[in-house]
Amino acid sequence: MYNNILTEIDIGVGIITLNRPERHNAFDDALIGELSAAIDLMAAEPAVRVLVISSTGKSFCAGADLNWMKRAAAYSADENLRDSRALAEMLRKLAQCPKPTVARVQGPAYGGGVGLVACCDVAIGTFDAEFSLTEVKLGLIPAVISPHVIAAIGERYARRYMLTAERFSAAEAYRIGLLHEMVADDEGLDEAVGEIVEALLKNGPRAMAECKALISAVAWKPLAPDVIEDTAQRITRLRASTEGREGMNAFLEKRKPNWIAQG
């Protein structure tokens, strides 16, 4: 059982909810361990086709728990490094989860909270969501989140927001690609997340997993012969797969593919 998160599975949708609202869902070693375990379970659970990351309270996530960071600084060098690796590994698991992931962002997301949003495939936030990469203000750096944040907003905006630690609005997050959609309130958030989830549930589960692997294999690579060959091999595998055959047959036979609930 978890103490810092809530989990549920509801008709194909796994939901992990950060539940430490009194600390604005800041993550310490306990929360990181629970998140990591829950992501593993959701990734392995066949009943889960889409994973939603949400949180309780007025903030999405205040990033790393600064009491934990302070404690970790007093550990031995090995323990300190082990702790940092645990956070880096949790973010990697989320970014590389074979199921599509959706961030449901209400209120502030700071530091590692921006990292969590950046790790998800789709991110939707309310107008009052706000963001800041506060680390340098604290004499720290946004290290373990950086690959994910740079992938989401690009190097240019990473330079600005990682260096200035300015707060930026949901509108700015939307403009620079951290959020895909902005909505007025919690109700709009549920509706928008619901629409994305509905779209994802119509897609081949294996195809979506392979699609994520494709994007990470191809992104930022030069258009060299090995990349071209790799893409040809990937589609060759998929069109010969059970799921690929079923999807094409369903289209041609004007019926729903077997991964969509019939009726």
Of the listed pieces 38-46, 65-73, 210-218, 225-233, which binds ligand COA according to CB under 6 A?
65-73
Q: Give the residue with the Cβ less far from ligand COA, 36 or 59.
A: 59
For residues 248 and 256, give the distance between their C-alpha atoms in angstroms, rounded to a whole number: 10
Quick check: helix, strand or coil at residue 15? strand
Residue count at the site for ligand COA (CB under 6 A)? 17
For residues 56 and 6, give the distance between their C-alpha atoms in angstroms, rounded to a whole number: 9
Residue 19 interacts with ligand COA (CB under 6 A): yes or no: no
Of the listed pieces 47-55, 62-70, 177-185, 252-260, which binds ligand COA according to CB under 6 A?
62-70
HSE (side-chain half, CA atoms, 13 Å) at 253? 10
Place of tokens 């930022």: 220
Q: Determine which one of 22, 79, 89, 135 is catalytic.
A: 135
SS3 content of the chain, % helix, strand, coil (to 5): 55, 15, 30
Shortest Å, Cβ 261 to ligand COA = 40
CA distances from 40 to 10, 91, 97, 151, 246 (A): 17, 12, 8, 22, 28
Q: Give the residue with the Cβ less far from ligand COA, 112 or 205.
A: 112
Residue 244 interacts with ligand COA (CB under 6 A): yes or no: no
For residues 176 and 38, give the distance between their C-alpha atoms in angstroms, rounded to a whole number: 30
Of the listed pieces 5-13, 18-26, 213-221, 253-261, which binds ligand COA according to CB under 6 A?
18-26
Q: Give me the helices (H) in 180-254, please.
A: 186-201, 205-218, 225-240, 242-252
- Residue pair 229/223 in contact by the 8 Å Cβ criterion: no
Residue 210 interacts with ligand COA (CB under 6 A): yes or no: no
Residue 135 annotated among the catalytic residues of the structure = yes
Choice from 42, 51, 64, 178 touching ligand COA (CB under 6 A)? 64
For residues 63 and 114, give the distance between their C-alpha atoms in angstroms, rounded to a whole number: 7
Of the listed pieces 59-67, 191-199, 210-218, 236-244, which binds ligand COA according to CB under 6 A?
59-67
Residue 20 interacts with ligand COA (CB under 6 A): yes or no: no
Shortest Å, Cβ 6 to ligand COA = 19
For residues 159 and 186, give the distance between their C-alpha atoms in angstroms, rounded to a whole number: 31
Shortest Å, Cβ 51 to ligand COA = 24
Q: Which residues in the 89-128 window bind ligand COA by CB under 6 A? A: 108, 110-111
For residues 189 and 213, give the distance between their C-alpha atoms in angstroms, rounded to a whole number: 28
Choice from 8, 40, 67, 228 touching ligand COA (CB under 6 A)? 67
Q: Which residues are tagged catalytic?
A: 135
Q: Which residues bind ligand COA (CB under 6 A)?
A: 23-24, 26, 59, 62-67, 108, 110-111, 134-135, 138, 140
